[in-house]
């Protein structure tokens, strides 16, 4: 069981804490607002009313032992910056911070955030990709160049084995998993002899331009 803390229980923080808790993790939820803490209490291991900009109060929580800390505090930029600085000085190794804009993100990185979250931007990107690429089931950007995408196989893939398709050589794309809807089965790292069927969902890993080449076949 992993341990996480969520600091700031607005809409994003609330749902992040709740999802982590429902996934079987220990979750410490923190906010200065008593009403928000009471609201999350049934959906967290522990919920605490605390001003996270107070370094001494923050240190008492033992956050350096957590697997990750999410910082999702309102629109006052200085608050999240100060909290991330405290967390870094406390030795927290994984700090995920919600940024309001690119400049905010740069500062958060400099004061200790290991990962930046842009909730609105990330969701907008996923929605726009699903609209412009109708055969894409799900889309996760890994970097500026690489994507992890779930797609319906193009018609010419049906009935062929992964060895026959040889996507790694032809497109520089890897099929890392297949979801068989007909059998409700999920295959991780399918064998080269696996034959693609109608209804299968392919999880592809590769550069955006290479995955687009496959998508255009559909």
CATH 3.40.228.10 fits 124-215, yes or no: no
Distance between CA 199 and CA 183 in Å, rounded?
Answer: 10
Note whether 29 and 9 are within 8 A (CB).
Answer: yes
Pairing verdict, β 200-207 and 174-180: antiparallel
Q: What is the dihedral of CA 17, 20, 25, 30, to 10 degrees?
A: -10
Supply φ then ψ for residue 9, to 5 degrees: -115, 40
**pLDDT, tens digit, for every residue of 147-204?**
778 888 888 999 999 999 999 898 899 898 898 876 678 898 899 999 999 989 888 8
**pLDDT, tens digit, for every residue of 28-78?**
999 999 999 999 999 999 999 999 999 999 999 999 999 999 999 978 899
To the nearest 10 degrees (0 to 180), the angle between helices 102-110 and 77-90 is 20
Per-residue confidence (pLDDT) for residue 132, from 0 to 100: 58
**44: part of which helix (H) or strand (E)?**
none
Sequence spans of domains, the chain: 3-117, 124-215
Distance between CA 86 and CA 33 in Å, rounded?
Answer: 20
pLDDT: which is higher, 130 or 79: 79
Architecture of domain 3-117: 3-Layer(aba) Sandwich (3.40)
Q: pTM (2 decimals)?
A: 0.64
pLDDT: which is higher, 143 or 2: 2
Listed in sequence order, the residues at least 6 apart from 210 whose beta carbon sits closer than 8 Å to its beta carbon are 171, 172, 173
Cα angle 202, 204, 208; round to 5: 135
């Amino acid at each position: 069981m992993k341990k996480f803390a969520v600091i700031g229980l607005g809409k994003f923080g609330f749902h992040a804490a709740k999802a982590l808790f429902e996934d079987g993790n220990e979750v410490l939820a923190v906010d200065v607002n008593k009403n928000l803490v009471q609201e999350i209490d049934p959906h967290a291991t522990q919920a605490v009313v605390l001003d996270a900009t107070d370094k001494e109060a923050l240190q008492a929580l033992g956050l350096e032992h957590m697997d990750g800390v999410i910082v999702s505090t309102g629109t006052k930029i200085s608050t999240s910056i100060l909290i991330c600085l405290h967390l870094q000085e406390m030795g927290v190794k994984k700090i995920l911070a919600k940024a309001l804009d690119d400049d905010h993100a740069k500062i958060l990185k400099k004061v200790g955030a290991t990962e930046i979250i842009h909730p609105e931007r990330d969701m907008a990107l996923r929605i726009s990709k699903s609209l412009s690429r109708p055969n894409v089931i799900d889309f996760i950007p890994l970097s500026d160049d690489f994507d992890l995408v779930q797609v319906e196989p193009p018609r010419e893939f049906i009935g062929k084995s992964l060895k026959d398709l040889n996507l790694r050589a032809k497109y520089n794309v890897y099929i890392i998993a297949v979801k068989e809807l007909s059998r409700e089965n999920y295959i991780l790292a399918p064998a080269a002899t696996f034959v693609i069927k109608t209804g299968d969902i392919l999880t592809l890993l590769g550069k955006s331009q290479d995955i687009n080449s496959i998508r255009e076949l559909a």
